[in-house]
Structure 1
């Protein structure tokens, strides 16, 4: 783990230089000779050579001799270098369990969006479940074609949680009450306070963005 973090940190450090980042941008489209890179960046050959050396040392580029003019070499971007910059996936043995305070809005919507996008099963719960799912949450789910998960009855976190669940709190109060019992926290504002369709729509948009960001990080155990 430590070695992987150090390798990723070194690669990110190499890309923190604007000139090297621009070289990488160019190489996403085409293999280039160092002279061509220098022309694109209006950069002297010794500086191009320095930047390419850093990128090569960090495993971001490779070079290959030209089959035409043997005095030339072409620089190629190693696409796998960027895949290995990503953090390792997190194995989930159970479900993704979304938790808010009342289990009447945010956690219900989050579970619905997750169910649309992932094969990892999900559920929702509340630290202090309310009497019913908020009608505006139901309307928002209908507007966004989100299938609400389960019986649509707010349930308590202590009753719903199972061993192996990956717990995601979607409200600040729930996160603070669980004292580290959650694996992830999304600080999403409570739309019930605003009590408007637009507030619920804003929450759905944020949840969809959050789910899209989380999807590649989780994998079934």
Structure 2
């Protein structure tokens, strides 16, 4: 009988071993829908920093989590769930919302793309906003949306004036996340394509957002 390769099997074993610890399973539950800094995880879990570091190292070693530096505060890092880490082990619907609001700093690329992509996969309304709106949508965002056949509405960047209490807020930018506090929602640490402003940078941001939306949409329900 043919079985999976030994290295694939061992990878599964390592993931199951890591998830067998209650604290690590709770961390993964938090990471499923968004990214957290170690400090934010400490606050959520009420866990000493040395113990949290131990659990994060175990999750990274098992291929369940990755980390990278914040684009805003370089002393800060974000932990995210590794792509495809759980393969069907994710929990079911957890969040309800009347609308999903995607936020970045300028509302000129990432949040605009996220709102457009959301409209393709969910009946829950979505919109986007910026903490410091730009004058216009970035041409790179328009181009990448066109390449992927996504209808990017021709609306100018806007601020947070329309924020509603029933909104589920998804910050797709480290600067916006670190500027805003106390909002109902999650954070996605998506790299700013305008920092490099190349076709590849916009493709990477588009693919990251698209993947995350595919994970989040099935776990949302209309409130």
TM range (shorter): 0.5 to 0.7
Q: Is the contact made by 2:104 and 2:173 (CA closer than 8 Å) also made in structure 1? A: yes
Instruction: Give runs of aligned pairs for residues 10-21 of structure 1, distance below 5 A.
Output: 16=17
Matched with 2:187 is 185
Q: Is the contact made by 2:193 and 2:205 (CA closer than 8 Å) also made in structure 1? A: yes
Displacement of 1:217: 1.5
Between structure 1 and structure 2, the one with the greater Rg is 1
Q: Runs ≥4 in structure 1, deviation > 2 angstroms?
A: 85-88, 90-93
Which one scores higher on RCO, CA 8 angstroms, separation ≥ 6?
Answer: 2
Matched with 1:134 is 138
2: distance between equivalents of 1:182 and 1:153? 25
TM-score (norm 2): 0.59
Could you report, residue by residue, the CA deviation over 1:46-78 in whole angstroms, capped at 9, with x for unpaired residues?
xxxxxxxxxxxxxxxxxxxxxxxxxxxxxxxxx
Displacement of 1:220: 1.0
Q: Is the contact made by 1:167 and 1:184 (CA closer than 8 Å) also made in structure 2? A: yes
Q: Do structure 1's residue 155 and structure 2's residue 180 form an aligned pair?
A: no
Greater percentage in helix? 1
2: distance between equivalents of 1:160 and 1:148? 20
Report how many aligned residue pairs link the two structures. 142
1:217 pairs, out of 216, 219, 222, with: 219
The unaligned stretches of length 5 or more in structure 2 are 1-15, 19-87
SS of the residue 2:216 aligns to? helix
Could you report, residue by residue, the CA deviation over 1:12-53 in whole angstroms, capped at 9, with x for unpaired residues?
xxx549xxxxxxxxxxxxxxxxxxxxxxxxxxxxxxxxxxxx
2: distance between equivalents of 1:182 and 1:174? 14
Displacement of 1:144: 0.9
Q: Is the contact made by 1:132 and 1:154 (CA closer than 8 Å) also made in structure 2? A: yes
